[in-house]
Structure 1
Amino acid sequence: MRVRMAIQLAAENEKMSDFERLTTIYWALSGALHYRVPGAVVELGCNAGLTSVWLAQIIQDLDPARELHLFDSFEGLPAPGELDTYLDKGDCSAARSEVEANFATWKLPQPRIHPGWFDRTLPESCPPQIAFAYLDGDFYDSIMTSLENVYPRLAPGGVILVDDYCDLDANPRAWNGLPGVKKACDTYFGVGSPLLEVVGGTGDLSFAAIRKPLGDE
């Protein structure tokens, strides 16, 4: 793992992807690539692309032929629903040009970028097979739409990491600012589903890992 790069990216993007989050992403994605799980790598909710840069570097180091697809409205968040808190419409806005500039700064190949709301872009542009997905949609509807489009395309053995999934019973240190994320996952998979694995850390890491069982289609 490129530790120095992770430290630098975390310093530039501390509020969204600290070092612990980047480390977790590394181990999840590198495992999928190491075991040759077929399919593309996708990120849903890429913002300015600093976490995307980390994904791209892992791909370049381990399997540079893999495609990286990024999805973002580039208009900030949609209006929150009844289950959404903390953030509001238009928050977390970034421009596509920021993503492209960050990839150029780190001298990485430009990813395939899909601008627009998830419910419009994912049905047509989501890769047919996915090895790894990072879901960072923040709100209930965004995560639900992400799961509906990504999980059926996830290859057996593939992994989804869901940011902001907080289960305080399993991980009392987790940040619980976006409860709609957990509600969407629990609604899609069922409360207490064995597919939802809480990931803990020394800080306020709030992640769920979803692994598609081998043999599932």
Structure 2
Amino acid sequence: MVNSLRYRVKLAFGKARMRANHYESCFGNYPQKYAELFRWVDRALELEGDVLEFGVHLGGTTCLLAEKLLKSGRTKTIHAFDSFSGFDPREFDTCYGSGAAKDASQKNAFRSRDNSVAYLEMKLKTFGFERCVRLHPGYFQDTLEPFLRESPSRAFCFALIDCDLASSVAFCADRIYDCLTPGGVMLFDDYGSLAPGKPDTSFSPGVRKVVDDFVGARAPASHGYVNGLYHFVK
């Protein structure tokens, strides 16, 4: 009840500021990164299939995707996957132990009161995005495959993969590849960093390796790292 009231107050009084600041997106204050995201989203929305997002946190990028989708007038659903409880501690420890993640303090980085299904549901409703977004709470390894089995012929035009942990990035990319529409787009975050003097994020060593392996095992129509995001076009 206390959290619910706090969410309502935060959204009621911060709505305009939140919209102006990319709805609390984790992408930070990098206009070129948002431009890169929108470039590929606009292209992908013209294709058949729904939209996937892996790694939601406070739903900032989810809201940006929903805003784009509704403005396009197309009938699609954004399927947003996240544990809403932070990293699986065992998965983080494995990635950190292998060098795929560099900063041990990030283990609990996404455990906060606002990182919750309740907050995101309220946020989506506040901005009118709930009609085109479906949330899938839980670890990716527990939720993605049952979702894909619901409708084996389902197609997807776009996927934003922002899982941070390399093992989750590899899992999601591998599982959805066959369902991606020809010409469809995957965007990977954490391949590098736009921060001055900081070419990597805490998760770049692992993410870069699994993305390079994923791309190397396939024949994409286009791929590359531009403005903070790595694109893969099927």
TM-score normalized with structure 1 length: 0.80
RMSD: 2.9
Contact 1:195 1:211 in 2 (8 A): yes
Give distance in 1, aligned partners of 2:192 and 2:87.
20
Give distance in 2, aligned partners of 1:197 and 1:74.
30
TM-score normalized with structure 2 length: 0.75
Contact 1:78 1:90 in 2 (8 A): no
Deviation of the 1:149 alpha carbon: 1.4
The aligned residue for residue 135 of structure 2 is 113
The structure 1 residue matched to 2:118, chosen from 77, 97, 108, is 97
Aligned-partner SS, 2:41 = helix
Deviation of the 1:190 alpha carbon: 2.2
1:152-207 per-position Cα deviation (integer Å, ceiling 9, x unaligned): 21110100110111399xxx977412221111112223289766733333xxx2x1
The aligned residue for residue 59 of structure 1 is 69
The aligned residue for residue 13 of structure 1 is 24
Q: Verify: 1:50 aligned to 2:46, yes or no.
A: no
Q: Structure 2 matches for 1:1-217, cutoff 5 A?
A: 8-10=20-22, 13=24, 15-18=26-29, 19-33=31-45, 36-79=46-89, 80=92, 81=95, 82=98, 83-86=100-103, 88-93=106-111, 94-110=115-131, 111-126=133-148, 128-166=154-192, 175-177=199-201, 178=203, 179-190=205-216, 197-201=223-227, 205=228, 207-212=229-234
Give distance in 1, aligned partners of 2:35 and 2:17.
11
Structure 2, unaligned runs of 5 or more: 1-15
Give distance in 2, aligned partners of 1:191 and 1:165.
17
Going from structure 1 to structure 2, the CA distance change for 1:6 and 1:90 (only over 3 Å counts) comes to closer
Going from structure 1 to structure 2, the CA distance change for 1:37 and 1:17 (only over 3 Å counts) comes to farther
Going from structure 1 to structure 2, the CA distance change for 1:125 and 1:27 (only over 3 Å counts) comes to same
Give distance in 1, aligned partners of 2:59 and 2:214.
27
Structure 1, unaligned runs of 5 or more: 213-217
Give distance in 1, aligned partners of 2:77 and 2:24.
24
Going from structure 1 to structure 2, the CA distance change for 1:137 and 1:124 (only over 3 Å counts) comes to same
The aligned residue for residue 215 of structure 1 is none
Deviation of the 1:21 alpha carbon: 2.4
Letter in structure 1 aligned against 2:106: D
1:32-65 per-position Cα deviation (integer Å, ceiling 9, x unaligned): 12xx311110100011111100000110011341
Give distance in 2, aligned partners of 1:5 and 1:13.
10
Contact 2:193 2:199 in 1 (8 A): no
Structure with greater helix share of residues = 2
Letter in structure 2 aligned against 1:72: D
Going from structure 1 to structure 2, the CA distance change for 1:73 and 1:61 (only over 3 Å counts) comes to same
Contact 1:196 1:208 in 2 (8 A): no
Contact 1:44 1:134 in 2 (8 A): yes
